[in-house]
Amino acid sequence: MKIRNRITLWITGAGLLAGLLFSIVISYEMIEQPYELLDGELDSQAHTLLAGFTTQANTLVPQADRAMLDSLGRLYWLKIYNKHHQVVFASSLTQYTDLPLKQKYGGYNVSATIPREAASLEQDDSNDLTFRVRIFSIPIGGEEYLVQIARPMEKLQEEIYDLIISIAVGLVLFAVALIVFGYFAAGRILRPIADINILAKEISEKTLDKRIPLGNNQDELYALSSSLNQMFDRLQYSFQRQKEFIANASHELKTPIAMQRLFFSEVVQRSDLPDDLTGRLFTQSEIVLRMDRLVKNLLELSTLELKETFTPTQVDLAQMLSMILNQFEEIMQASGIHLKVEIEEPVFVHGDEDNLRRMFINLIDNAVKYNSRDKRKIRVSLVKKNKEAKIIIYNTGIGIAPEEQDRIFDQFYRVEKSRASTSGGSGLGLTIVKRIVELHHGRIKLEGEFGSWVEFYIFLPVMES
């Protein structure tokens, strides 16, 4: 279960428990109070009624005001018992129902049925009634009498029922409000964690300079964010050191390899060498040439990673691409490649000229290198579309298998070792291309049909005119 849902559940649970306890206390008070009032009313009415009696020869005799006795008698169920538990007075209501005489002082409820036609006492359709009964003893003329007085309490019961329903509905609404509130509160509490999560996903080797915003609250999340930021600092430092190391190592290797290359190119020219030695020297010179290319590519990539040589200016891609294609014309002709160019002029971007040139050279060089043996074609197009320069470089050839297409931009990745070694590749050309595209905030992708053709797409943001 998600933490957000768990917090919501806790908030709802705690709130609901508090609400439930509160409702129980309130409803108890609210239900008790009307009973107390009703009991008080019964007591006072009983006393009023009893005031209308006198004792004569050990019996109760109603006094002159019979009308009052009769009208109260229709509203209140009343029985007065003498000490032998004989009924000495019964109000008119007692003829319809008998209520049990519980030897229990105080109040109790009793259900009874009195047809509506007999006496209209707030009955519902079923003629059922609930009576509130009070029992107490009272001295009249020196004798103790037991008084049992009762009255229907349908209205009160309905009100109590309504009250319970209202409290239940209130509790349900309260629970819904708590869930909504809890969900939003949990979202707010967890928002810094969501921020940390988004940033942690964003941060990669290329964006190690990003940091989690700390905010003002010096709470646990602040501590977590600053620990993560410190970890990113350390990571960034070690990546930087690693890049610097590769840059320094390739820089140091560059000169001795160049000298070796020079040496071999001079030596293989000599005519006084034995044939077998010339062959071996030629192979060695090829190896040194490959080493030279590899070290240069490594140096190029590491300087790109360190962003040391990135100096942006206004560059016309159309002009640059045309010039590069001119330079390749001779080699394409020699290889029997048919070139088709579709360039829309001019297309300006804000970028580093040397790097952009390097990017095009790498891609066109690959299009030549990995072309097919027959029906050789290269198509280069450049158009401006949706504030982007769209460059397509297409070549026939054996192409790149779909499962290789994602890995093609990885360092030292070559589709086929033999293919790459015969072409003298280092497996860094496309890594450099991708890095240059990224430094220009662009995108690169490829499409193709394995065994037939491949097409590289580059999108670079153009300069606003």
Which chain residues interact with ligand ADP by CB under 6 A?
366-367, 370, 395, 397, 399-400, 408, 414-416, 419-420, 425-431, 454
CB of 433 to ligand ADP, least distance (A): 7
Rg (CA), the chain: 50
Q: How far apart are CA 147 and CA 134, in angstroms?
A: 8
Residue 201 corresponds to which amino acid?
Answer: K
Q: CA distances (Å), 202 to each of 196, 197, 392, in order?
A: 10, 9, 29
For ligand ADP, the closer CB: 91 or 371: 371
Which residue's CB is nearer to ligand ADP, number 225 or number 431?
431
| Cα angle, residue 196 at apex, residues 190 and 198 outer, rounded to 5° | 105
Question: What is the DSSP code string of 275-297?
Answer: HHHHHHHHHHHHHHHHHHHHHHH
Give the 3-state secondary structure of residue 155: helix
Residue nearest to ligand ADP (CB): 425
Provide, rounded to whole angstroms, the least separation between the CB of residue 398 and ligand ADP.
Answer: 7
The residue among 79 and 414 lying less far from ligand ADP, judged by its C-beta, is: 414
Q: Which is nearer to ligand ADP, 151 or 376 (by Cβ)? A: 376
Of 192 and 429, the one with the shorter C-beta distance to ligand ADP is 429
Distance CA 396, CA 341 (A): 15
Q: How far is the CB of 449 from ligand ADP (least distance, A)?
A: 11
Q: What are residue 148's phi and psi, to 5 degrees? A: -120, 110
Least Å distance, CB 250 to ligand ADP, is: 15
Nearer to ligand ADP, 12 or 366 (CB): 366
Q: Are 411 and 371 in contact (CB under 8 A)?
A: no
Question: Shortest distance, CB of residue 422 to ligand ADP, whole angstroms?
Answer: 10
73 versus 448: smaller Cβ distance to ligand ADP: 448
For residue 450, the tally of other CB atoms under 10 A from its CB is 14
Angle between helices 3-50 and 66-75 in degrees, nearest 10: 160
Closest contact distance (angstroms) between CB of 429 and ligand ADP is 3
Collapse the DSSP code of 24 into the 3-class scheme (helix H, G, I; strand E, B; otherwise coil) and give the result: helix
CA dist., res. 190 & res. 234, Å (int)? 26
Provide, rounded to whole angstroms, the least separation between the CB of residue 307 and ligand ADP: 21
> 227 or 421: whose CB is closer to ligand ADP?
421
Measured CA to CA, the distance from residue 161 to residue 109 in angstroms comes to: 15
Beta carbon of residue 314, minimum distance to ligand ADP (angstroms, whole number) = 28
